[in-house]
C-alpha cells in the first residue's frame, strides 16, 4: 500500500489563494497538484489523469510549488546536458588537438577519434557520441571536389574530338 500524502494546511491555503488569482496555466496545475490530494484524497495516478499529465509530473509540480512557497529558486525546465561526459571547455580542448590535422586537409577517422576519446574518458564510447560532439562544435564532413583543380576543360574537349573512333587491340 502506498504512503498517504502529507500536505500541511498552510500549503493548502496558499494553493487555494493561487487558484483563485492566477491566470498562468502552469501555476494553476502546480496548485491543483497540491489541492486534489489534500482535499479529495486522490492518489498520484488519479491526480495525473485529472490534470492530464504523467504521474512523475505531478510529483514535480508538487515539489516546484513547495519550493516556491518556501522562497527557493526553481528552474522552469529540466532540460540541458543531463548525461554530459565532458564539459564544453574540455570538448573544445579535445577537438583542438585534432584541428591542426583537419586544417592541413588530413582525413579524420572517427574510429581513431573515438578510441582517443574513450581513452581520455576511461570508458567505452559509442561512435554516435563522437558524431554528436563534432556536430555540437560545428564540424562537418567535407566531400572532395568532383573535378581535379588542375584539369583543363578545353584540353579534355579537344582530346574527345581528336581521339580515335575505334580502339584496336594492343
Secondary structure tally for the chain: helices H, strands E: 8, 0
Residue 88, Cβ neighbours under 10 Å: how many?
11
| pLDDT tens readout for residues 76-87 | 666 677 778 888
Q: What is the pLDDT of residue 102?
A: 82
Q: Characterise 15 by phi-psi region: left (phi > 0), alpha (psi -120 to 50), beta (else).
A: alpha
- The pTM assigned to this predicted structure is 0.46
Q: Minimal CA–CA distance to 53: which of 36, 74, 69? A: 36
Q: Which residue has the higher pLDDT, 3 or 109?
A: 109
For the chain, give every domain's residue range.
9-69, 88-136
Grid cell for residue 157: 574537349
Q: Are 108 and 98 in contact (CB under 8 A)?
A: yes
Q: What is the pLDDT of residue 97?
A: 87
Q: Minimal CA–CA distance to 44: which of 7, 1, 5? A: 5
| pLDDT tens readout for residues 54-71 | 999 999 999 889 888 888
Q: What is the pLDDT of residue 148?
A: 81
Q: What is the pLDDT of residue 1?
A: 56
With 0-12 / 13-18 / 19 or more C-beta atoms within 10 angstroms meaning exposed / middle / buried, residue 82 is exposed
Domain 9-69: which topology? Arc Repressor Mutant, subunit A (1.10.10)
Amino acid at each position: 500500500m502506498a504512503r498517504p500524502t502529507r500536505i500541511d494546511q498552510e500549503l493548502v491555503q496558499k494553493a487555494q489563494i493561487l487558484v483563485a488569482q492566477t491566470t498562468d496555466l502552469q501555476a494553476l496545475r502546480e496548485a491543483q497538484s497540491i489541492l486534489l490530494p489534500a482535499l479529495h484524497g486522490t492518489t498520484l495516478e488519479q491526480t495525473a489523469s485529472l490534470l492530464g499529465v504523467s504521474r512523475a509530473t505531478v510529483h514535480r509540480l508538487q515539489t516546484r510549488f513547495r519550493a516556491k512557497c518556501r522562497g527557493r529558486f526553481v528552474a522552469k525546465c529540466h532540460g540541458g546536458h543531463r548525461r554530459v561526459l565532458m564539459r564544453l571547455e574540455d570538448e573544445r580542448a579535445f577537438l583542438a588537438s585534432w584541428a591542426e590535422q583537419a586544417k592541413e586537409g588530413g582525413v579524420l577517422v572517427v574510429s581513431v577519434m573515438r578510441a582517443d576519446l574513450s581513452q581520455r574518458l576511461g570508458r567505452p564510447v559509442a561512435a554516435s557520441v563522437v558524431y554528436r560532439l563534432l556536430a555540437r562544435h560545428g564540424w562537418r564532413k567535407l566531400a572532395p571536389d568532383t573535378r581535379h583543380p588542375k584539369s583543363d576543360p578545353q584540353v579534355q574537349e579537344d582530346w574527345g574530338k581528336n581521339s580515335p573512333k575505334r580502339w584496336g587491340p594492343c
